[in-house]
């Protein structure tokens, strides 16, 4: 929130990830200014999700550095990174299906609350106050993402579009400064896609930086400030949407491919 507009919130330097004999990522260096929407596109297997997993601490890079707000984070565990202010959604929805819509968002408050098991077990006054704060904050977020009326429904029962939105809401509840969205529009119909796009814009307006992996080109071209194109783990292009649209290398690697399939 305090970062200057031009100050990078996240930088990747010399990241290499090798799985056995396969190089999944090879130095896709980039630096993302705070408060912008940066998309990562590329054909299947280009390394987009691997990159997300490295940024959020699920996988350690083989070599290279990830810096968040000037601090190195590439060896930290996912829960520590979440505390530092990076949150994410998953390509295959990973909601807590044993909980309600509201509880899913309340869980997102975990890194921003601190009551111990002992305090909760004894229902000490501060634990009750904190629980009330968690709930009211979660309700605010449900209003923001437009799911407030469904707060008491089981999360697994929502249609896919709303599940994806709820996952974004749960990630927002952690008060991230950077949110990584892994294909938020995949499998959504036109209306749902529209809702998701406006939500992502509204998130940027809150000052949160968005890192987006998405296959739906209309979404990407519409809402991104800048786009990075990966192919075989390497960066082949980077720039604003207009530039990427016309880049011959990109068309060959990605859009061209799609044209042939279509």
Partner 1 sequence: MLRIGKLPIAILAGVIIMFPWVARHVTLIEHYTDIMVFAGIYSLITIGLSLLMGYAGQISLGHAAFFGIGAYSSAILTARFGMNPWGCMLIGALLAAVMALLIGTPSLKLKGHYLAMATLAFGIIVFIVFNEETEWTGGPDGMSGIPGLALAGLALDTVEKYYYLVWTIVLGVFIFTCNIIQSRSGRALRAIHVSEAAASAMGVNVARFKVMVFIYSAMLASLAGSLYAHYLNFINPSTFDLFFAIKLLIMISLGGTHSIWGAIIGALLVAFLSFEWLHFFEEFEILVYGAVLLLITIFLPEGLAGLPKIVHGWFRK
Residues interacting with partner 1, by CB under 8 A?
Answer: 56, 58, 77-79, 82-83, 87-88, 90, 94-100, 102-103, 106-111, 113, 115-117, 120-123, 127, 130-131, 134, 152, 170-171, 173-174
Q: Residue 43 Cβ, how far from partner 1 at the closest point, in Å?
A: 24
Comparison of 3 and 115: residue with beta carbon closer to partner 1: 115
| Residue number with CB closer to partner 1 (122 or 202) | 122
Burial of 47 (0-12, 13-18, 19+ CB in 10 A): buried
Q: How many CB atoms lie within 10 A of CB 88?
A: 25
User: Which helix or strand (DSSP H or E) is residue 231 part of?
Assistant: strand 226-231
C-alpha–C-alpha distance, residues 70 and 34, integer Å: 12
Closest CB 141 distance from partner 1, rounded Å: 13
Beta bridge partner(s), residue 22: 19
Residue 97 CB, nearest approach to partner 1 (Å)? 6
Q: How far is CA 102 from CA 8, 108, 136, 155, 169, in A?
A: 33, 10, 10, 8, 10
Q: How far is the CB of 87 from partner 1 (least distance, A)?
A: 7
Cα of first residue to Cα of last residue in the chain, in angstroms, is 42
Q: In terms of CB distance, is 57 or 161 closer to partner 1? A: 57
Question: Distance between alpha carbon 180 and the CA centroid of its chain, in Å?
Answer: 2
Q: How far is the CB of 240 from partner 1 (least distance, A)?
A: 30
For 187, other C-beta atoms within 10 Å of its C-beta total: 13
By beta-carbon proximity to partner 1, the closer residue of 79 and 206 is 79
Cα–Cα distance for residue pair 67/54, rounded to 1 Å: 11
- To the nearest whole angstrom, how small is the minimum distance from the Cβ of residue 213 to partner 1? 15
| Beta carbon nearer to partner 1, 15 or 59 | 59
Q: Which is nearer to partner 1, 155 or 244 (CB)?
A: 155
How remote is the C-alpha of 40 from its chain's centroid?
11
């Amino acid at each position: 929130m305090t970062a200057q507009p031009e100050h990078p919130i996240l930088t990747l330097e010399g990241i290499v990830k090798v799985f056995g004999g396969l190089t999944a990522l090879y130095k896709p260096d980039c630096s993302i200014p705070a408060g912008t929407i940066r998309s990562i596109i590329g054909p299947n297997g280009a390394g987009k999700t691997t990159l997300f997993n490295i940024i959020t601490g699920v996988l350690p890079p083989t070599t290279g550095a990830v810096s968040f707000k000037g601090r190195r984070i590439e060896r930290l565990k996912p829960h520590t990174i979440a505390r530092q202010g990076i949150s994410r959604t998953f390509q295959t929805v990973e909601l807590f299906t044993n909980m309600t819509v509201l509880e899913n968002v309340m869980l997102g408050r975990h890194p921003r609350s601190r009551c111990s098991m002992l305090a909760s077990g004894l229902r000490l006054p501060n634990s009750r106050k904190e629980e009330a704060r968690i709930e009211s904050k979660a309700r605010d977020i449900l209003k923001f993402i437009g799911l407030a009326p469904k707060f008491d429904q089981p999360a697994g029962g929502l249609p896919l579009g709303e599940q994806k939105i709820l996952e974004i809401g749960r990630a927002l509840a952690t008060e991230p400064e950077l949110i990584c969205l892994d294909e938020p529009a995949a499998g959504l119909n036109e209306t749902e896609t529209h809702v998701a796009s406006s939500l992502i814009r509204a998130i940027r307006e809150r000052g949160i930086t968005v890192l987006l992996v998405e296959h739906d080109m209309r979404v990407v071209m519409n809402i991104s400030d800048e786009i990075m194109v990966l192919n075989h783990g390497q960066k082949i292009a980077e720039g604003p949407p207009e530039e990427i649209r016309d880049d011959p290398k990109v068309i060959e690697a990605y859009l061209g491919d799609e044209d042939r399939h279509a």
